[in-house]
Amino acid sequence: MKRRRLLQKSVLAASLVALACAGVNVSETATAAGLTKKAPDIRVSVNGTYTFEQGAVQWDGITYLNVKEVNHIFGDAALVENASAGTFTLLYPGMKAVYTTGQRSVIVNGKKHVRDYASVKRTASGTYIALRELSDRLQGGISFNSQTRTVVLNYKERYAVGRHESTSVWVDKQNGTLYISKQGQLPQAAGQTSFKPRDLVYVTFKQLSNASLLVTISDSWGEPHLGMDYYKIIVHNGKVVREAKTSYYGFRSSASIDQAGNNLLLIDQGKLHWVRPDGVTVQSLDIGSRLGLQDVFTVEYADQDVLLIRPYTVGKLILYNMKTGTATELYKKLLTEEEQEILDTWVTSEADYPGDQLWFAKLEGNTLFFKHRVLLRSEEKVLRYTLE
């Protein structure tokens, strides 16, 4: 048996020599074949609540994390791979670190630093980055429990971040500062915002042009998360030039359009602003005063002639004529008398209150088209309203 194992190893060794002569990566093949010593399994505990047993390995006493796990653990950092160059870039407000696979040097904000180990390693099972390197750069606490072979990581996310393609946007949860990185560049401060987090924060953004960006910060709060704060922030030439905030609380949709033609629509509590992508206000309308509303609202359509808004609590679509300054409650024009009576007698604070079940579909000429689900039935209709 012993001689058989020796013979098998000799055959494997000879095969690896042949592969090396053919230009195959012998180290990866050797690892896969089991000729090199397999690192013991490592568990990683994050903030004492989340533990995973796959994706981490140890070489020469250094714990490495599979790059696929980085954004799960360090949620406010961005790790970007350049496969053709064999590099990984770690982006974080005020920091850009570039790692080359297999090398001990790292370029941080343009300066070269040398570690006593390679920060990034590639094997047959995946690509790994040193957990200590990530922890040091991102100011996390790290320790190792040798008895349980568990790496204990304490890390608090300081930023909410949104990523899309080659752009990342961060907002500081402590002071509201906004940071932006494009094309893998060093994240730069764009300016201060009024953002104050309550609970579950999400960052999204829309690229308006090469110079302008519309950032939306959504903050879901309350129990069971019925509250929603929206911060709309315009960034122009890398600087915050305008922002607005509105808040909703309840069961109904708070979705609203944010653009009308070439202008952005910013809801700032009871007011609606038409704003250019450079932050200049074109027009403002005090919806609360004009319509006598004591309620926040959403916008479903807007052009130079008409505006469709929905008061959040009552959920009944209102047509506002921009030229005449008159407002029309559309349910009184489009719904049957029976449906009108149902809405007028239904308590709006009840969870199953349906609203008017009118949704804007399109505008053709002077005619507005709406989809409508008949109240207390499954029947659906298309209703029309012609502008005077």
Q: What is the pLDDT of residues 28-76, one digit of tens each?
A: 444 434 334 445 578 888 988 777 767 788 888 899 999 988 988 899 9
CA 129 from chain center: how many Å? 24
Enumerate residue ranges in the chain where pLDDT < 70: 1-40, 53
User: E strand or H helix at 333, and its extent?
Assistant: helix 331-334
| Structural element, H or E, at residue 320 | strand 318-321
According to the model, what pLDDT value does residue 28 have? 41
Domain positions in the chain are 43-154, 158-251, 282-388
Element at 137 (helix H, strand E): helix 131-137
Q: Name the token pair of 299.
A: 């916008």
For domain 43-154, the question of CATH label 3.30.465.10 is answered with no
**For the chain, how are helix, strand and coil distributed in percent, rounded to 5?**
15, 45, 40
CA atoms within 13 A on the CB side of 155: 28
Query: What pairing do the DSSP bridges indicate for beta strands 150-154 and 43-46?
Result: parallel
pLDDT at 49: 78
Contact between 98 and 107 under an 8 Å Cβ cutoff? The reply is yes
Closest CA to 139 of 55, 63, 76, 50: 76
Q: What length is written for the chain?
A: 388
How is the beta sheet containing 78-82 ordered, strand by strand? 78-82, 87-92, 95-100, 105-108, 111-114
Give the containing element (helix H, strand E) for 32: helix 26-33
Residues 379, 382: Cα–Cα separation, whole Å:
11
Query: What pLDDT shows up at residue 269?
Result: 84
| Beta-carbon contacts of residue 364 (< 8 Å; ≥ 6 apart) | none
Q: How many other C-beta atoms can be found within 10 angstroms of the C-beta atom of residue 175?
A: 10
CA 78/CA 64 separation, integer angstroms: 17
What's the pLDDT score for residue 25? 43
Q: Quote the pLDDT of residue 115.
A: 92
pLDDT for the residue 11: 42
- Position 36 scores a pLDDT of 42
Crossing angle of helices 26-33 and 2-21, in 10° steps, is 160
Residues 264-295: tens digit of each pLDDT: 999 998 899 999 999 999 999 999 999 989 89
> Token pair for residue 213?
């960006």
**Which residues are CB-contacts of 4 (< 8 A; sequence separation ≥ 6)?**
none
Closest to 244 measured CA to CA, from 264, 227, 220, 222: 264
Cross-sheet strand order for the sheet of 150-154? 50-52, 43-46, 150-154, 141-145
Residue 383: φ, ψ to 5° = -110, 150
Q: CA-to-CA distance for 362 and 371, rounded, in angstroms? A: 10
CA dihedral 113, 116, 119, 124 (to 10 degrees): 150
> In one letter, which amino acid is 238?
G
Give residue 39's pLDDT.
52
Res 125: pLDDT: 85
CA distances from 242 to 152, 228, 371 (A): 42, 20, 35
| Structure confidence at residue 15 (pLDDT) | 43
How many Å separate Cα 203 from the centre of its chain? 5
